[in-house]
Amino acid sequence: MTATYTKNHTTAAFDGLLDPMLPQTATIKRIQQETLDTATYSLAFTDPAVAERYRFLPGQFNMLYLPGIGEVAISISSDPGQPESLLHTVREAGNVTGAMARLKKGDLIGVRGPYGSAWPVEMAENHDLILVSGGIGLAPLRSAIYHVIRHRDRYKQVTILVGARSPADLLYQEEYETWREFNIEVVITVDRADESWRGHVGVVPMMFYKLRPDPRRTIVLSCGPEIMMRFVIYEALARRIPKDKIYLSLERNMKCAVGFCGHCQYGPFFLCKEGPVLSFDRVEPFFGVEEF
Amino acid sequence: MSEQSLQKAPGQALPTGKQIVIAKGDLQQIFEALGAAGYTIVGPTIHQEAIVYEEINRVDDLPIGWTDKQGPGHYRLLPRDDGRFFGYGVGPNTWKKFLYPSQLTLFRTGRNGDGFVTNSEQEVPQYAFIGARACELAAIAMQDRIFLEGAIQEPHYRARRERAFILAVNCTEPGATCFCHSMGVGPVNETGFDLALTELDDTFLIAVGSDVGADMLAGCAWRPAGTFELDKARLCLDESKKKMGRIMETTDLPGLLYDNLDHPRWDETAERCLSCMNCTLVCPTCFCVDVQDVSDLTGEQTERVRLWDSCFNPDFSYVHGGNIRPTIRSRYRQWLSHKLASWIDQFGASGCVGCGRCITWCPVGIDLTEEIAVIRGEQI
């Protein structure tokens, strides 16, 4: 390998302002409890100049930082058309998310981002859309749903398949009716029902049985546990939806979100840069490999 | 000195690309010039029975008259009788120790009642690297690509890199675990240095690589390199290519490894691998880091600290619920397939520069050239 970078000996100082690891401060404006262990945090940058220029694409994520605790990658679950109202739906699962659960309205939090690739919402125009989520996987898909609603005439049939472990684990339940008002079919299923449940029971890939997608004009967007997405792919391929029309949002450990820490490496990709959203044709050689 | 007498030519600018000859003792003049220019000189020196890269002040601090014997899981220093300045291979340290420190405070956070303020002012050291080999310059060029040539630049690396002076050494005595020639990066330094030196019997042949390099020669008596020195150096370096103890067949390594992610060899190697992370720590291109918060007891002050991490660390792949790569098999496969395959997809060239450190410093002597040969189906 030969050197391609030409240094000049003169640049002397470290410029901290350019540090991609430095978070911005944001205030928690509202916390909405979604389920027993999941809440949505509404954030606003304290610096108006930062708030002014902040934009994101559906499917991208931010690094949320609590001093003394650490940082965690959380997808943005709000409307890209309203970047000033930034929502993150967080499930209590580890150190940082556990500490976040103890925060209250008005507390400050560090934010840097947005990072990563987006759902292919432009490429998907004039297509039918099938969005498939498992559990908290609905959070990154919700920003795509808001985008579709905002530009509903650009998309044809839109179907959302929502899966959760139990009725109590269903996210954003109060919004399903609104989505339906925009001519979006919302199919809900739970792995385990309770006495009050009158809907579908079973894993979410099974909901494909209800669909008759046209493989020439259908795009699938999916986020959830990898095992779930494996069967989503299986069902989509069985309906002859091409591999490059199946998009997945993948998850790996992330420390830096700018491709320097190596944690989110996934074959030829860094999921923080080329991902988290990737089409299945690009990840196929690695997707089923155990412990990859 | 040989036939021609040396001339002292202070102030006379040597053009880049010029090859000159100096007496070995005059290397100290270069050290003096670097010191006067404000550089912290780091280079090979003996510490705890190994040649490491540390701050040195004088030419005498170099391991003059020493060599090393390397093999899989084996490293010993031996005296040599010819008083060579650079008669040894690479040791366990790499220059990333200085350009991308193993521990670095990224910023400090202090609670100020309403939240936190960050303060990321940093002092940047100015290093002169003495004795960087071709494999190491290739590794630095690779880290340049990773940290400086993407959409986002790594500012700490950049600040150190921009200020660094590099006095490279062409390797005339490769070790038993070396294969930089296979990887196409050595043993000759072609680019990326301020000065590059080839050690001959009584003199140093020096190639000028930059104006700053030329400036540092101001105190040396020199003469233009003659046919004798140039031929002698060429001969030594041609010999060096043949003396490398390892060969890596690099044809389509990505295809080979991606097609063999379930090869039984991974299981066999996992039986030997201790997942100790030595290979990633001694590798000159491995760049994985963790970021941790270190707080004082009151929680008022927090430092965000970047530390070298390793894909052999079980927690490296942690996501909620568990580790993606809980077995040594999957971690070794991750390291090797990244280093030799997906690295090429990501950065356009292999992450391996053939320095052989991971072979030498593996406590059980796992040899990646052997791993590749086995996966290729060759008889070992």
Counting residues of chain B whose pLDDT is more than 70, the rounded percentage is 95
- CB nearest to A68's CB, from B114, B258, B299: B299
Determine the pLDDT at residue B114: 65
Name which of B16, B143, B158 to mutate to probe chain A: the one with the most chain A Cβ atoms within 10 A of its Cβ. B158
Q: Is the sign of the CA dihedral B251, B89, B200, B206 positive or negative?
A: positive
Q: Give the three-class secondary structure for A190.
A: strand
Tokens of B243: 């003396």
Comparing CB atoms, the residue among B109, B329, B349 nearest residue A1 is: B349
Distance CA B198, CA B177 (A): 21
- What pLDDT score was predicted for residue B89? 94
Residue B34 in this model has a pLDDT that exceeds 80 = yes
Which of B192, B295, B329 lies at the smallest CB-CB distance from A3?
Answer: B192
Cβ of B291 and A291 within 8 Å? no
Per-residue pLDDT band at B87 (split at 50, 70, 90): very high
What is the second-level CATH architecture of the domain A128-249?
Answer: 3-Layer(aba) Sandwich (3.40)
Please judge whether A25 and B116 are an interchain contact, meaning their C-beta atoms are less than 8 angstroms apart: yes
pLDDT band at B90 (very low <50, low <70, confident <90, very high): very high
Interchain pair A16, B155: CB under 8 A: yes
Q: Does A47 touch chain B (CB under 8 A)?
A: no
**Per-residue pLDDT at B165 exceeds 80:** yes
Check CB contact of A182 with chain B, cutoff 8 Å: no
pLDDT tens digits for range B360-379: 999 999 999 999 999 998 76
Contact B196, B206 (CB under 8 A): yes
Span B187-225, pLDDT tens digits? 999 999 999 999 999 999 999 999 999 999 988 999 999
Residue B55 has pLDDT above 80, yes or no: yes
**Secondary structure (3-state) at B130:** strand
* Token pair belonging to B106: 């990224």
Contact partners, residue A285, CB within 8 Å, separation at least 6: A267, B258
In the prediction, which pLDDT does A156 show?
96
Q: Which residue has the higher pLDDT, B17 or A2?
A: B17
Query: Does the N-terminal peptide bond of residue A114 adopt cis geometry, omega within 30 degrees of 0?
Result: yes
Q: Provide the token pair at A6.
A: 């030409």
* Residue to test with chain A: of B34, B118, B133, B289, most A Cβ within 10 A: B118
Q: How far apart are CA A139 and CA B59, in angstroms?
A: 61
pLDDT at B1 over 50: no
pLDDT score of B2: 43
DSSP label of A161? E
pLDDT of res. A262: 95
Burial class (CB in 10 A: 0-12, 13-18, 19+), A30: middle
Kindly state the tokens that stand for A251. 């998850």
State the Cα–Cα distance between residues A151 and B165, nearest whole angstrom: 56
**Token pair for A101:** 């659960």
Residues of chain A scoring pLDDT < 50: 1-2
Task: State whether B150 and A292 contact (CB < 8 Å).
Answer: no
Separation CA A108–CA A24 (nearest Å):
10
**If you average pLDDT over residues B216-240, what whole number do you get?**
93
From A236's Cα to the closest Cα of chain B, the distance in A is 25
Asked if B162 lies within 8 A of A10 by C-beta distance, the reply is yes
- The span from the CA of B219 to the CA of B227, in Å, is 24
Q: Which of B186, B188, B177, B199 is nearest to B87 (CA)?
A: B199
Between CA A254 and CA B154 the distance in angstroms is 17
In chain A, which residues have their Cβ closer than 8 Å to the Cβ of B132? Answer: none
- Give me the interface pTM, i.e. the ipTM: 0.89
User: What's the average model confidence in pLDDT over B325-336?
Assistant: 96
Tell whether A6 lies on the interface with B, counting CB pairs under 8 A.
no
Per-residue pLDDT, A5: 59
A68: Cβ–Cβ under 8 A, 6 or more apart, which residues?
B109, B293, B295, B299, B302
Residues paired with residue A159 on neighbouring β-strands, in sequence order: A130, A185
Position A286 scores a pLDDT of: 92
Query: Does the beta-carbon distance from A10 to B353 stay under 8 Å?
Result: no
Same fold, A23-115 and A128-249: no
Q: Report the predicted TM-score, pTM, of the whole model to 2 decimal places.
A: 0.92
Q: From residue A226, how far is each of A133, A242, A292, B79 by CA, in Å? A: 11, 19, 12, 57
The pLDDT tens digits for B117-147 are 777 777 889 999 999 999 999 999 999 999 9
Report the distance separating Cα B181 and Cα A178, nearest Å. Answer: 65
Our CA-based measurement puts residue B211 at a distance from the nearest CA of chain A, in whole angstroms, of 10
- A260 and B CB contact within 8 Å: yes
Left, alpha or beta for B45 (phi > 0: left; psi -120 to 50: alpha)? beta
Interface residue of B162, B191, B345 to substitute, partner A, most A CBs within 10 Å: B162
CA-closest candidate to residue B225, choices B211, B197, B198, B206: B206
What is the rounded CA–CA span in Å between residue B361 and residue B370?
Answer: 15
Instruction: Name residues whose C-beta falls within 8 Å of residue B60's C-beta, 6 or more positions apart in sequence.
Output: none
Q: What is the pLDDT of residue B214?
A: 93
* Residue-range domain boundaries for chain A: 23-115, 128-249
Report the alpha-carbon distance of residue B326 to residue B314 in Å, rounded: 6
Chain B residues near residue A286 by CB distance under 8 angstroms: 261
pLDDT number for residue A4: 55
With beta carbons under 8 A apart, name residues in chain A contacting B302.
67-68
From residue B160, alpha-carbon distances to B41, B123, B142, B145, B325 in Å are: 13, 10, 15, 15, 34
| d(C-alpha B162, C-alpha A138), whole Å | 45
Q: How far is A240 from chain B (nearest CA, A)?
A: 26
Average pLDDT of chain B is 92
Q: Is the pLDDT of residue B8 over 90?
A: no
Q: C-alpha angle with apex A142: A222 to A42, nearest 5 degrees?
A: 140
Looking at the complex, does the CB of residue A68 fall below 8 Å from at least one CB of chain B?
yes
Q: What is the pLDDT of residue B16?
A: 87
Indicate left, alpha or beta for A113 from its phi (over 0: left) and psi (-120 to 50: alpha): left
How confident is the model at residue B378, as a pLDDT? 79
Question: Is A45 in CB contact (< 8 Å) with chain B?
Answer: no
Angle (CA) B290-B141-B251 rounded to 5° is 95
Which positions in chain A touch B338 (Cβ < 8 Å)? 265
pLDDT band (50, 70, 90) for residue B320: confident
User: CB burial class (10 A; 0-12, 13-18, 19+) of residue B319?
Assistant: middle
- CA B113 – CA A24 distance, rounded (Å): 17
3-state secondary structure of B35: helix
pLDDT bucket at B298, cuts 50 / 70 / 90: confident
The shortest C-alpha distance from B290 to chain A (Å) reads 6
Name the strand (E) or helix (H) holding A80: none
Q: Which residue of A has its CA nearest to B329?
A: A291
Both tokens of A76, joined, read: 């943005």
CB A267 within 8 A of CB A234: no
The CATH code of domain A23-115 reads: 2.40.30.10
From CA A146, how far away is CA A82, in angstroms rounded?
10
Q: Sheet containing B301-308: which strands, arranged edge to edge?
A: B116-119, B103-111, B301-308, B289-295
Residue B299 CB burial class (10 angstroms; 0-12, 13-18, ≥19): exposed
In this prediction, residues B153-163 reach a mean pLDDT of 92
